[in-house]
A and B are shown apart, each in its own frame.
Chain A
Amino acid sequence: MDLHTVVEVVSPARPGQWRRGDAWLGGGTALFGEPQPGVTRLLDLAASGWTPITIRDEGLEIAATCTVADVNRFAGAPGFTAFHGLAAACCHAFLASFKIWNVATVGGNLCAALPAGPMIALTAALDGECLILGPADPGDGPPGKIPADPGDGDGGLVERRVRVVDFVTGDGSTVLRDGEMLRSVTLPRASLTGLTAYRQGSLFTHGRSAALLAGRLTQAGEFVLTVTAATVRPYQLRFPELPDERHLLDELEAAIPGDAWTDDVHGLPAWRAHLTRTFAAEIRRELAA
C-alpha cells in the first residue's frame, strides 16, 4: 500500500544513516504491507548490492538483502547437506507465495520477528549468527542522544554479533536498537553438514506456520532441535547425542515455559504445544532411522 507519510527515499542507504522517522527497507513486502504512519524516510538496503550468499571459510554468509527466492534456488554448496535439507522446505513454509519470494528478504523476515517467520527457523536451526551494525551511541538511551543527522559516513559504527535464536526476543520484537540494522547472517560451516528433519503444522494446507520445527544431527552426533512458530520466539534444545523420546519430551517441557506458546488467530496454544511434542518425536525418530 502507499505509505503517504514517506517523503524521501535514500537508495542505496548506508549503515549509520538512520534518524528518527526512518525505516530500513529490505524487499518492502512487510513494510508496504501495513500502514506506517510514523515513517517519513526509507533507507533502502536492497540497492546496496550486497552479494546474496557468499561461501566463506567459516561457512555461509547470507546478506540481509538476500531474497527468499535466492535462498530457494541456491545450489552452490552441495556439501552443505543440512542447509539443503532445510532451505527449500522453509521457503515453502511461507504463507506468502513464490511471487513474494522474489522480493522478500531474509533480513526482513528476521527483523519482522513473527513467530512463523520461516527464515528465522532456517537460520536459527543452522546456528546462524547475526551481524548487526549500528551507531556508536545506540538509540536505546534518551532520545536526545541521537544526532538529528548522523552524517553519511561509516564513521562511528559499531558492530555486534548475536545468535539468531537470541536475535528474536518475542512476537514482533528483536534485540535491534534504534538505528541498528541487520547486515547479514552467517551459518557456521560445522552446522551445515549432517542430517536434518523438518515438520510444519498449520491450521490450513499451505497456511501460515503454527508450529515449525527443525532437527539436526551433526556429523559429531550432536542433536539440535529448534522450535519456532509454536512459540513467540525460537527455542533451541541441544543434546550431545540423540536422546530417547521420553528424555526429549521432558527437556522440551522444561525448556519452554507455559506462557511462551503463541496465542493468536493462527492456532490455539494447547494445540501448538501438542504439535510441537508430536513433531519433536517424529523428527527424533526420522533422524534415528
Chain B
Amino acid sequence: MTVRINGTEHGRAPRPGQCLRTFLREEGCFGVKKGCDTGDCGACTVHVDGEPVHSCVYPAFRAQGKRVTTIEGLAPADGLHPVQQSFLDAQGFQCGFCTAGLIMTTAALDEAQRADLPRSLKGSLCRCTGYRAVADAINGVRTVEDPEAGAAIGAGLGAPAGPQIVTGTARYTFDVAMPGMLHLKVLRSPHAHARITSIDASGALAVPGVRAVLTHEDAPAKFFSTARHENPSEDPADTRVLDDVVRFIGQRVAAVVADTEGAAEEGCRLLRVAYDVLPSVVDPEEALLPGAPLLHGGDSNAIGRLDAELGSVADGYAEAAVVYEQTFRTARVQHASLETHGAIGWLDADGRLTLRSSTQTPFLTRRALADLYDLPLDRVRVLTGRVGGGFGGKQEMLVEDLVALAVRATGLPVKHEYTRAEQFTSATTRHPFTVRMKAGARSDGVLTALELRVVSDTGAYGNHGPSVMFHGCHESISVYRCANKKVDAYAVYTNTVPAGAFRGYGLGQVSFAVESVLDELARMLGMDPVLLRERNVVLPGEDMTAPGSHADDLTIASYGLDQCLTAIRDASHEPLPEPAPEGWLVGEGMAMAMIAAGPPGGHFADATLTLLADGRYEIAVGTSEFGNGSTTVHAQIAADVLGTRPDRIVIRQSDTDVVAHDTGAFASTGVVVAGQAVLAAARSLRADILAKTGAVTLGVDTAVQADGSALHLRDVPGPISAQGHWTGSPRSVAFNAQWFRIAVDPGTGELRILRSVHSADAGRVMNPLQCRGQVEGGVAQALGSALTERMVLDGGTGEVRTTGFRQYHLPAYADVPHTEVVFARTEDTIGPLGAKSMSESPYNPVAPAIANALRDATGVRFTDPPFTRDRIWLGLQNDHKGQPMT
C-alpha cells in the first residue's frame, strides 16, 4: 500500500517503528522539520487526509493508503498558499525553522480557532519571534515594505530567504540527501565523574551495519575548548574529542558509526564500559571549598577569577544614606534553538575534509578542526545551510570535532544530529550565576558603592566561562558612574553539563542583581527608579569603568540612553488602558542595560562584492544566517551604496570558501562588523565600476554617464570585484530599557502582564521591521528565563531531569504579551551608516524589570527566577514583605 504525498504515490514501505516525519524526509520532503521529536513544538506539522497532525509522533505505517500534504504540497507549484503569502507579508519568522509547521497549522485552523490563537497555537513553538510577527501573519497584517532604489536602509525589507522559508525549500543543516551517508550516535556517561578503565566494543561491532566504534583511544591527545573566539587563548583548553575521564552525566564516552541510526543506537547499547567512579561536586560553592574534588587538576576549580576594586566601597558605605544587600540566583536555562546541534561531514572530491554544520562560527570551527587534526587550513572547509536558531549555543564546536574523527576513520559521509534530549543533557546552557550584591546611595540617589560577589557555574568544562564572567561584570556595572566599585568573581567547574555562550553573555545574570538592588535603593529613598538611574548613568564623553582590566577600545559613539529612560517614564505616566481583575495586586517595574557592540579583542569580517555577468551584484560574506537578519541588512547596505534595488543583490555566505575570514555571527556583530565590511566592499566596487566605465553614478541595472546615457551593467566588461574588511574595533555601546505593568492573583500566583514597553538605542535602525523583531524575540526569550524556563538537575549527581519541552516550558503564544518597541533616534559614529548592534541586548533588562514589578505589586523581593505561579504564591504565603523570596 502506498502513501500519497502531495499528490504523488510513494510505494516504499516505511520501517515498522518509523514515525511519519522521518519517512517524509526520506521521501524528499525536507520542509518537515524536527524540533522536538516528541509532539510538542509543531515544526513537523503535516496534514493526513486533511487533518493536521504532528508527524513526529504519527506512526508512518498508518499513513499507508492515506493522503499526506506537507509544506511542499500546500500550494500549486506556481504560486503560494494564502497563508504562505501572509507569513511573507508579515515576515512571520526569523530563523524560519518552525515556519513550515506554523503555516501548516494555520492553514488548518477554522474560524473559531483563529479567534483564539493562544489556545490554538499551544502546539506551535517559535523561539525567535516572540509571536507578534506570527500573529500579524495569521491576521493578515502586511508589515513588509518594498523600498525604492537607493532607499533600502531604514525600510522594512523582507528577508531575502523569505520565499524559501515559507515554501519549505530553505535548506537547513540536515536538509540534504547524501548517498551512502553513515549515522553517528554517542554513548553518554552515566556518571558525574569517572575514569574509563575499559571499553569492550565487540558486541557493538557485531551489529549488522556498524562500521566503526570510536573511543578515547582513537581521539587526538590534544586538548581544546569547545568555545569559539577569534583568539583561542581566551578559552581554557580542557576538552578532548573523546576523553578517558568523564566529568558530567551526559558527556561523550564513545561514538558508534553505522549505516543506520538504528544500528548505531543498538551499537551504543551493546558497548560494555567499565568505570572507576571518582568523587564529584555539583554545587559551585562547594566546588570552591578546600578539599573539593578537582575536575581538571590544579589547585582550584576556579577557572576564571576577578578580584578588583575601584575606589573604596568601605568609604562608599560610610557616605551612603541607604545600603541594601541581597543574594540573587539565576536559573540554568537552555538556548532551545529549534534546530538541534549537528553536522554532516565528508571528504570532497579532492579529499578535503568538509563539514556542513549548524554553527554560528564556520571559520573559527575550521581553524579549530585544522588545529585538532594537524591539517592545513585549506584542507578543511566548513559551511552552513540556513541555521535554525543560535542564541549563542552555536558559538561552540560541539559536534564537528567528532564528525571529523568519524569521517577520517571511515572515509565516508557521516551525520551526527542531536536529539532534543541531548540538547539538554549534552550541549551547553546559560551560566547559572549567584550574585551577592551590596550597594549604597546618598539621599539624592547618587550611588556611593557597588559591591558584587559573583559565582558562575561553568559546569564540567571551561569553554566560555571566564569570558562570560568578565563580560557579565563589565557593562552591567560600567553603565553607572560610581566612584567605588568592587567585584569578587569566580567561574567555577562543577560536575554538571557545561555552560556556554548565551544571548547576553553574562550581562543578564549580573544585571538581574544590579537592577534589582537599584530598585530597592530607589524604594528606600522614596525615589522614582527612572530618576535614580538618571542620576547615575554614564554620560557621553565619560569613561565606562568597572573593576579589573577590561579592553580599552569601548567608547560611547552615540548616546540614546536618555531617550530610552524617557520612553519608560512616559509609559509609566500613561493611564492604565484596562483595569486589572478585582482582587489582583498591581505593580510596575523597570530596568535598563548597556552592551558593547561587539566583543573585545577583535572581531574580523571580510566581504567581497562582485558585479556579475548578468548585471546583478553578489555579496560574499562569512556571516551565517539564523534569523539574526544580518543578511537582509547586508543586502540593504549594498543596494543603497550601489544605487540599486535589493532584488538585484545575491548573497553567498557562511562558507569558508567564499571569503578569507569571518570571526562569526556572535556578540551581536552581524551588522556592526560584517555590515561594515560589506559597506566598505560596496563603496569600493562602486568606485571601481565608475572608474572602469567613466560613469558618474549608478542606477538600477545601469552605470549612468555624465551626459545621461546609461550603460547596462551586464555590458560592463568584468568581472569586477572589490573587498571590504573590518576589525571590529573600536566599539560603541547600545542601550535598552524595559518596563512592565503587571497584575498578580494572590489566590493562585498567576502573573499577568498588563503592558510591556521596551526602548532601545540601536543607533540608526537599518531595518525597523527586523530590528523590532529582534527586540520582541529578545523580550520573549527573556520572559522565558524570568517566568517559565528552568533546567532541573539532580542535586546529588547533576543529572539533567528536564530533557524535553514538556518538562522545560518554552514561552508559547499564550505566554508572551505584546511589547511596544520604542527606538531612540541616534546615529553612531563607529557603526556602519550609524547603526549599532541589537540582538542580544533586548534580553538583558527584562527579568529584573519583571522582578521589580513583582516587588511593586506584592511587596516581596523575588530573587530567584523563574517566577512561576507556584513560587509566586509561596512567596506571598510567607509574607516576606520587603524581604527576599528565594
Contact = CB atoms under 8 A, between A and B. Distances in A.
A265 interface: yes
Nearest to A30: B57
Contact of A46 (B45, B62, B121, B419): B62
A97 interface: yes
A2 interface: yes
Interface string B771-809: 000000000000000001010100000000110101111
A285 to B, nearest CB: 14
B39 A29 contact: yes
Interface stretch (B287-295, B720-728, B868-876): B868-876
A138 B791 CA distance: 41
A229 to B, nearest CB: 13
Contacts of B748: 201, 275, 278
Given A99-B105, A265-B802, A267-B870, A1 B59 contact: no
Interface stretch (A5-13, A120-128, A220-228, A233-241): A5-13
Contact of A208 (B39, B804, B806): B806
B755 to A, nearest CB: 17
Q: Select the residue from B260, B802, B869 with max chain A CB neighbours within 10 A.
A: B869
A205 B814 contact: yes
Given A32-B57, A265-B802, A210 B870 contact: yes
A98 B120 contact: yes
A206 B812 contact: yes
Given A2-B18, A4-B260, A103-B57, A207 B874 contact: no
A97 B124 contact: yes
A33 B18 CA distance: 12
B373 interface: no
A17 to B, nearest CB: 15
A177 interface: no
B627 interface: no
A278 to B, nearest CB: 6
Contacts of A210: 870
A206 B804 CA distance: 18
A268 interface: yes
Interface in A7-62: 7-9, 11, 25, 28-30, 32-34, 37, 39, 41-42, 44, 46-47
Given A32-B58, A265-B792, A271-B873, A278 B17 contact: no
Contact of A271 (B57, B123, B749, B812): B749
Contacts of A5: 17, 262, 266
Given A5-B262, A201-B748, A270 B18 contact: no
Contacts of A100: 39, 53-54, 57, 123
Contacts of A162: none
Interface in B1-34: 15-19, 22
A3 interface: yes
Interface string B712-749: 00000000000000000000000000000000000111
Contacts of A203: 788, 809, 868-870
Nearest to A264: B807
Contacts, number: 160
Contacts of B869: 201-204, 267, 271
A96 interface: yes
Contact of B42 (A46, A47, A99, A265): A99
A268 B19 contact: no
A42 B845 CA distance: 51
B817 to A, nearest CB: 11
A271 B42 contact: no
B52 A99 contact: yes
Nearest to A116: B806
Interface residues of B, number: 61
B453 interface: no
B768 to A, nearest CB: 30
A42 B874 contact: no
B262 A2 contact: yes
B57 A2 contact: no
Contacts of B814: 204-206
A275 B123 CA distance: 25
Contacts of A42: 16-17, 59
Contacts of B747: 278
B275 interface: no
Contact of A270 (B54, B812, B874): B874
A95 B122 contact: yes
A6 B59 CA distance: 12
B62 A28 contact: yes
B16 A206 contact: no
B38 A34 contact: yes
Contact of B16 (A7, A47, A271): A7
Given A33-B57, A99-B105, A102-B52, A204 B123 contact: no
A98 B874 contact: no
B91 to A, nearest CB: 24
A209 B815 CA distance: 15
A5 B15 CA distance: 10
A39 B54 CA distance: 22
A97 B809 contact: no
Nearest to B869: A203
Contact of B874 (A6, A102, A202, A271): A271
A274 B39 CA distance: 31
B662 interface: no
B58 A28 contact: yes
Contact of A29 (B22, B52, B54, B790): B54
A189 interface: no
Given A3-B17, A98-B120, A268-B870, A207 B56 contact: no
B583 to A, nearest CB: 13
A2 B22 contact: yes
Interface in B840-886: 868-871, 873-874
B19 A2 contact: yes
B410 interface: no
Given A4-B17, A4-B266, A268-B870, A97 B122 contact: yes
B198 interface: no
A95 B806 contact: yes
A140 to B, nearest CB: 27
A92 interface: yes
A32 B63 CA distance: 15
Contacts of A267: 868-870
Contact of A204 (B62, B788, B801, B874): B788
A201 B868 CA distance: 12
Contacts of B120: 97-98
Given A102-B53, A203-B869, A97 B15 contact: no
Nearest to A271: B870
Q: Select the residue from B51, B262, B868 with max chain A CB neighbours within 10 A.
A: B868
A1 B42 contact: no
B343 to A, nearest CB: 20
A153 to B, nearest CB: 23
Interface in B375-420: 419
Contacts of A9: 16-17, 59, 61
A44 to B, nearest CB: 8
Contacts of A32: 19, 39, 56-59
7 tightest CB-CB pairs across the interface, nearest first?
A97-B123, A6-B17, A4-B262, A3-B17, A271-B870, A1-B37, A268-B870
14 contacts: A3-B18, A4-B17, A4-B260, A6-B16, A29-B58, A42-B16, A47-B62, A92-B119, A201-B748, A204-B814, A265-B801, A267-B870, A271-B873, A274-B873
Interface of B: 15-19, 22, 37-40, 42, 45, 51-54, 56-59, 61-62, 105, 108, 113, 118-124, 260-262, 265-266, 269, 419, 747-749, 788, 790, 792, 801-802, 804, 806-809, 812, 814-815, 868-871, 873-874
Given A103-B53, A103-B54, A203-B809, 5 more contacts: A2-B261, A9-B17, A33-B39, A265-B790, A267-B869
Interface of A: 1-9, 11, 25, 28-30, 32-34, 37, 39, 41-42, 44, 46-47, 92, 95-100, 102-103, 201-208, 210, 265, 267-268, 270-272, 274-275, 278
